Amino acid sequence: MTTHHRGQPDTSADVEREVAREQAHVDRVYAELEKATLRARDVEADGLARGRTDRTGDVRDEEMTGLFERDALVHAAARRRAAIDTQYEGLVFGRLDLGEEGSSAAEREVRHIGRLGVRDDDYEPLVVDWRAPAAAAFYRATPVDPMGVVRRRVLRCRGDRVVGVEDDLMVPEAPEDIVVVGDGALMAALTRSRGRQMRDIVATIQRHQDEAIRAPARGVTEITGGPGTGKTVVALHRAAYLLYAERRRFEHGGILVIGPSAAYTAYIERVLPSLGEESVALRALGDVVDGVTALRLDTPEVAEVKGSLRVRRLLARLVARPPLGAPRVLRAFVAGHAVRLEEEALRRVRAEVLRGHQHNLAADAARAALAEAAWRSVRQGERSDFLDAFDSSRDVDEFLASWWRPVDPRELLLALADTDEAYGLSRGVLDQEEAAALAWSYREALETGQWSVADVALADDLLARLGPVPEAVEEDAGFYDIEELDDLTAYGVQDVRAGSGGPGRPGSGAVVTPADARERLLAGRLERASGYAHVLVDEAQDLSPMQWRMVARRGRTASWTVVGDAAQSSWPDTAEAARAREEAFTGLERRTFHMDTNYRNAREIFDHAREVVLPLVPDADIPEAVRETGVRPVDVAVDGSLVAAAADAVETVLEEVDGSVAVVTPRRWADRLGALDGAGEGRVQVVDPLSTKGLEWDATVVVDPDAITEESPGGVRVLYVVLTRAAHRMHVLRPA
C-alpha cells in the first residue's frame, strides 16, 4: 500500500470526528450480527417447519429461497464471528470511498471491508468480506491505478472499539469534504511490537501480496522471496481466500498446512482463526503421519541418510524379510504327507507374494502361495485334496500366524537398532559408518521413547509398502512382554538397559525404561495418508526427498501452495530434493510469485544479516527492508562470561522493546542459558537455531554465531535464518 497523503493536515479534532463516524458504523454492524445470531437460532428451531410451508403456497418459492439464503448467510456470519476473538483487530477494518474524481459526497459510494460479510435487513452490505471481489480494490488500488478509489481508510480497532484511522489518498487532490488522517497503516503495523504468535495482516495486505493470495486455486502456486517478506503470512491468507472462493471444495476436501516444527505451528496457529477459518489442518513435519509424533532431531549425518532416497532400498529389504521371530522352516503334516519347506523355498514364496501385494493385505495370498509351494514339494495324491487339507491344517495356521503376521512399520524401524542388522540390510547402500550411526539413532529412540522428525517419513514409506496396520496390532502394540524383551536383547540392544548413550543424547534428562520407551514408540495406530484438496508447504527448501514423498502422498489430487527461500535452507538442497518435489507436482500448471520487500527486520538488522550471508551464499535472494530504526545491532566479542553478557543484553532489550525476546543459542551454551527462559515475565524464550525457522521476535540475542554455523546442518544458511528473526533490536555475542 503506497502511502499517499495530500489532503488537509489533520488535527486531533478531525481524527476524533472521523473515529466517531466509523464507530457509528461499526456499532451498526455489531447490532446486526446480534440480531443475526438470534434469528439464526430461530431458523434452526423452526427451519424444517418453514421448509414445508413453501409447498403449501403460504410463501412464494423465490421469497422463501431468498429468506433461506439470507438466513444461511447470516447464520454462517454469526458462527464465524464467534470464532473471531475480540483480541484480533476488529471485525471491520477498512473502508473505501469510491467515485469519479471531483464527485460529490452524494455521488460517492462507501464500502466497508471486514473479516466477514454482513448485510442489513434490506440485504444491503454493511461489510464486505475481504476476500470478495468487491474488496479487491482495497488491496490493489494505487495512486497510479486508483480503481475508482478516492480514499482508502484502515480502521484500527480494539475489540468493537475504533481507536484510530489511517488514510491513503488515491487521487492527487482530496475533494473538499474528504478528510485524510493518520500516518499510513502499514508503517504503524510494522512498528508495533510482536507477541508470541503471528498476527493476520488483513488490514494492510500489499498489492503484490494480494496477487499471490488471490491466484487461481488449481495447479502449483510458488511463493518465493528472502527473509521476512511475508511469504508465510501471505500463504496463510491464501488458504483463507481459497476457503472463501471455493468453500465447498476446500472445506470438504481439506487444506493441509505443513511447517518445519511444532514451534512454527504454535506460532502461526491463530492466523486462520482470526480470519474466521478453523477448518485447516496445521502439521509440523514431525507430525504429518497420524500415529507418530516426533520432535527430536537427528544429527545432520543421520538426518541426511534418513532423508535421502537411497534409504528406500534399505526399507524395501526390511519389508521383504520375515517378521521378527518368524520360524525359518515350515514343518506340517498335511493329508498324510510330511511337508517341509526350507528357508530358501520360503524366501521365494515371500518374494513372489510381495511382488503383487502389500504385506499387511496379503495373508490370504501368502497362504495360497505357500499351499502351492507345499504341493509342489509333495506332488502325491489329489491336488485339490491336498490344498483343502493344507487350508484347514492347524500346523499351517500356527506357522502363518507368525510367519506372515501383520507388521507395524515402526517395529521394522526399531529392528535397525541392532548394528549387525543395520550393516546387513544396508550393504551396498550405506557405508559402515552411516549404518552404525543409523543403528545408534534407533537405540537412542529406544532409550528416549521418542522418534526423530526424519523417522516419520520413513514410517510413512514403510506404511505405503506394508499396507494398513490391522487393529489387532494396535491392541498388542502397548505390550512389551518378557519374550519381546529377550528378543530385543538377542538383537544386541542390551546396552539399552544399561543406558549407554552416544553423542548429544537429547532428552536424556528423562529416565525411561526400555519397556516404557518401546511402548511409547509403538503407541497409537499408524494411519494411512488421507488426501487433501490443497496442500500448503512452508519452508519448502528444508524438505528432504523422503519428506517430499510423504507430503506427496497427502496431495495426490491436491492443488499446492509452496513457500520457500533456498538461502535459508537447512537441508543440503540437492538435485535429489528438487526431483522428489517435481515428482509431487507432475503434470500440474505452475505460477510463481516473488516477494522482495522485507517487512520484518529494521533495515539496520537486515543489513547486518546480509553482510554475513552474501560472501558465502552469493546467490541469496536479498529483499529490501522498508523500515529504519536508526539503531544498529550490537555485535561484540565478549571477554568475560558469555552467559553474564547474554543476561545483560536481555535486560537491555527488555527495556527497549515491549514485546517478545529470544535468546538463540547453539547446543554448547544451551544448558547455561536455560535460566533466562521465561525472564521478563515470560517475554523471553531461549531457543535453538533450527527452532527459529519461520518465527520472529521484537528483539533477539544471538549467542556464539560461529558455533551456530558449525553445529547446523545448513551451516551459514541457518545462521542467516537466526540473524533475520528480530524486528527491532538484535545483539550478537561472540566468545572472545
Residues marked as binding for ATP?
Answer: 225-232
Check: CB of residue 169 under 8 Å from CB of residue 7: yes
Cell of 404: 506372515
Check: CB of residue 152 under 8 Å from CB of residue 96: yes
Element (H, E) at 107: none
Stretch of 27-35, 100-108, 204-212, 272-280 contacting ligand ATP, by CB under 6 A: 204-212
* Between 204 and 293, CB nearer to ligand ATP: 204
Taking the C-alpha atoms of residue 1 and residue 141, their distance in angstroms, rounded to an integer, is 8
- The string of DSSP codes covering 333-363 is EETTEEEEE-HHHHHHHHHHHHHHS-GGG-H
Paired residues of 684 in beta bridges: 661
Cβ of residue 267: shortest distance to ligand ATP, in angstroms? 9
Rule CB under 6 A: choose which of 227, 514, 713, 715 binds ligand ATP: 227
Stretch of 4-12, 231-239, 490-498, 680-688 contacting ligand ATP, by CB under 6 A: 231-239
Cβ of residue 262: shortest distance to ligand ATP, in angstroms? 16
* Between 153 and 600, CB nearer to ligand ATP: 600
* Between 205 and 415, CB nearer to ligand ATP: 205
Q: Is 514 in the site for ligand ATP (CB under 6 A)?
A: no
How far CA 82 is from CA of 76, 98, 162, 273, 462, in Å, comes to 10, 31, 19, 10, 42
Q: Which residue is nearest to ligand ATP (CB)?
A: 230
Contacting residues for 528 by C-beta, under 8 A, at least 6 apart: 463, 464, 468
Name which of 307, 313, 310, 285 is nearest 465 in CA terms: 313
Rule CB under 6 A: choose which of 296, 367, 600, 610 binds ligand ATP: 600
Check: CB of residue 255 under 8 Å from CB of residue 243: yes
Question: Which of helix, strand or coil describes residue 59?
Answer: coil
Rule CB under 6 A: choose which of 171, 179, 206, 276 binds ligand ATP: 206
- Of residues 646 through 675, those in contact with ligand ATP by CB under 6 A are none
Q: What are phi and psi of 630, to 5 degrees?
A: 80, 0
Q: Is 232 in the site for ligand ATP (CB under 6 A)?
A: yes
Element (H, E) at 154: strand 149-158
* Between 189 and 305, CB nearer to ligand ATP: 189
Cβ of residue 696: shortest distance to ligand ATP, in angstroms? 6
Cβ of residue 223: shortest distance to ligand ATP, in angstroms? 8
Q: Is 696 in the site for ligand ATP (CB under 6 A)?
A: yes
- The string of DSSP codes covering 393-409 is -HHHHHHHHHHT----H
Q: Is 565 in the site for ligand ATP (CB under 6 A)?
A: yes
- Of residues 169 through 188, those in contact with ligand ATP by CB under 6 A are 186
Cβ of residue 320: shortest distance to ligand ATP, in angstroms? 42
Element (H, E) at 629: none
Stretch of 21-29, 228-236, 300-308, 345-353 contacting ligand ATP, by CB under 6 A: 228-236
Stretch of 49-57, 199-207, 357-365, 547-555 contacting ligand ATP, by CB under 6 A: 199-207
Cβ of residue 687: shortest distance to ligand ATP, in angstroms? 14
H, E, C per residue of 233-283: HHHHHHHHHHHHHCHHHHHHHCEEEEECCHHHHHHHCCHHHHCCCCCEEEE
Rule CB under 6 A: choose which of 221, 224, 229, 547 binds ligand ATP: 229
Check: CB of residue 600 under 8 Å from CB of residue 260: no
- Of residues 708 through 727, those in contact with ligand ATP by CB under 6 A are 724
Q: Is 190 in the site for ligand ATP (CB under 6 A)?
A: yes
How far CA 176 is from CA of 109, 154, 183, 259, in Å, comes to 16, 20, 20, 50
Cβ of residue 138: shortest distance to ligand ATP, in angstroms? 12
Rule CB under 6 A: choose which of 138, 480, 599, 606 binds ligand ATP: 599
Residues forming the annotated binding site? 225-232
Name which of 221, 135, 157 is nearest 25 in CA terms: 157
Cβ of residue 565: shortest distance to ligand ATP, in angstroms? 5
Contact residues for ligand ATP, defined by CB under 6 A: 186, 189-190, 201, 204-206, 209, 225, 227-233, 565, 568, 599-600, 694, 696, 724
